Amino acid sequence: METTATILHADLDAFYASVEQLLDPSLRGKPIAVGGGVVLAASYEARAFGVRGGMPGRKARELCPQLIFVGGNFGDYQRLGDAAIKVLDDFTPLVERISIDEAFADVAGCTHLFGSPQEIAQTIRRRVRAELGLPISIGVARTKHLAKIASQVAKPDGLVVVEPGSEIAFLHDLPVGLMWGVGPATRARLAEIGVETIGQLARTHSGALTRLLGPAAGEKLAALSWNRDPRKLETKRRARSAGAQSALGRKPATADIYVPTLLHLADRVASRLRAKARPGRTVTVRVRFADLSAVTRSITLDQPISATTMLAEIAGDLVRGVLADHRQEKTISLLAISVSHLEESAELQLELPLGLADEKRRPGTRKGLARFGADRAIDKIRERFGKQAVGYGTVALEAARSVPDEFRELAEKEL
């Protein structure tokens, strides 16, 4: 680990809402939400009333009657997000972008040119504000995990530098929910055993964490609670998987709900795989129930796939298996699909027509090739006339489309 704090985590504040307030000055200082049926993002003024991203629009209006809903200017989100990251590029080539509005930067090699890490962070914040009109918070620390936590503590529109001698004292007083990888479900499980701060997590016996979270997650969180994070910046990271998810609210766990949703998700994932010519072997689904508990299932195939209907059908089988094992669960709140073990320039093994029951799901059969050919035809039509020009026969649920695909594409990692 470095002996000085040189890793920056820069995160644009309430990015989508801030962009809307930038584009329409009359919205500044007012509680606004991007979206409609579902809150895609909320300004800090709206968050003060409890409005959060992913919340149903009706509930958001109940919490904040004066809430103003605005549509999304997705092109401006991409343009301004790119411009903000470019400011980091002006200081160091060691930049790892992790989403449209946040990135890590290692400035260890450029302090002789631009000053201390704190001075560099201050300059970045001034430039983003002056050139783009947007607030940005930055955390500076020795590790990626601590730098990200520091940027969250710095919000809104602030800067926090964690020097090596103060790391543990800074970290251990913070709520465990600030840790990378601790979502609502994990936070609730930890609360059941009295763990609400990172310090309490650090002092929890490893056996208890393993029983509660599993060996991998328990070991990882225990290490991070003591700021043990050896990860380096990945400036040329290539995605190891492609995925998409859809929050459904509270829907019955029936085929007429999950089948069209899975097809919509498979379309989004498989089209990205085909665009990069990177089919994958392992298909994983995640089903979240009404109480926020979730179950994950996966299968590894003989040959990599990137055909939409193949992926949707395989995912459907996995979801049916989950529901069969959890018959007491009658409501689902989220579905997700991901494909991993991606291959490049994968050689397709052609197969003879042997009348196998799963021939249409095997990419090397005549039926499999026909499905892939249909997908490529759809891809070409969309490239020329737009994504709404053509789709698949089963229409996805309104809930699955309540979040515009343009917003989803900004949030989902590119291959």
pLDDT in tens, 386-408: 777 777 765 444 434 455 555 55
Whether pLDDT at 206 is above 90? no
Known binding residue 11? Answer is: yes
Q: What is the pLDDT of residue 355?
A: 66
Which of 36-50, 110-124, 157-171 shows the lowest per-residue confidence on average (mean pLDDT)?
Answer: 36-50
More confident residue, 248 or 298: 298
Helices (H), 295-392: 308-325, 366-385
Highest mean pLDDT among 120-134, 201-215, 236-250, 399-413: 120-134
Environment class of 413 (CB within 10 Å of its CB; exposed 0-12, middle 13-18, buried 19+)? middle
Catalytic residue numbers, as ranges: 102
Whether pLDDT at 293 is above 50? yes
User: Whole-structure pTM over 0.75, yes or no?
Assistant: no
Whether pLDDT at 287 is above 70? yes
Q: What is the mean pLDDT of residues 127-133?
A: 96
**Percent of the chain clearing pLDDT 70 (strictly above):** 90
- At 5, the pLDDT band (50, 70, 90 cuts) reads very high
Question: Reduced to 3 states, what is the DSSP secondary structure of residue 249?
Answer: strand
Q: Are 246 and 264 in contact (CB under 8 A)?
A: yes
Question: DSSP characters for 12-54?
Answer: ETTHHHHHHHHH-GGGTTS-EEEESSBEEEE-HHHHTTT--TT
Give the phi and the psi of residue 234 in degrees, each rounded to 5.
Answer: -110, 95
- At 117, the pLDDT band (50, 70, 90 cuts) reads very high
Q: Which amino acid is at 190?
A: L
136-182 pLDDT, tens digit per residue, is: 999 999 999 999 999 999 999 999 999 999 999 999 999 999 998 88
Known binding residue 101? Answer is: yes
Q: What is the pLDDT of residue 397?
A: 42
- Break the chain down into helix, strand, coil percent, rounded to 5: 45, 20, 35
What's the rounded Cα separation, in Å, for the pair 400 and 246? 6
Sign of torsion, CA 149 143 10 237? negative
Q: What is the mean pLDDT of residues 31-56?
A: 89
C-beta atoms surrounding 214 within 10 Å: 11
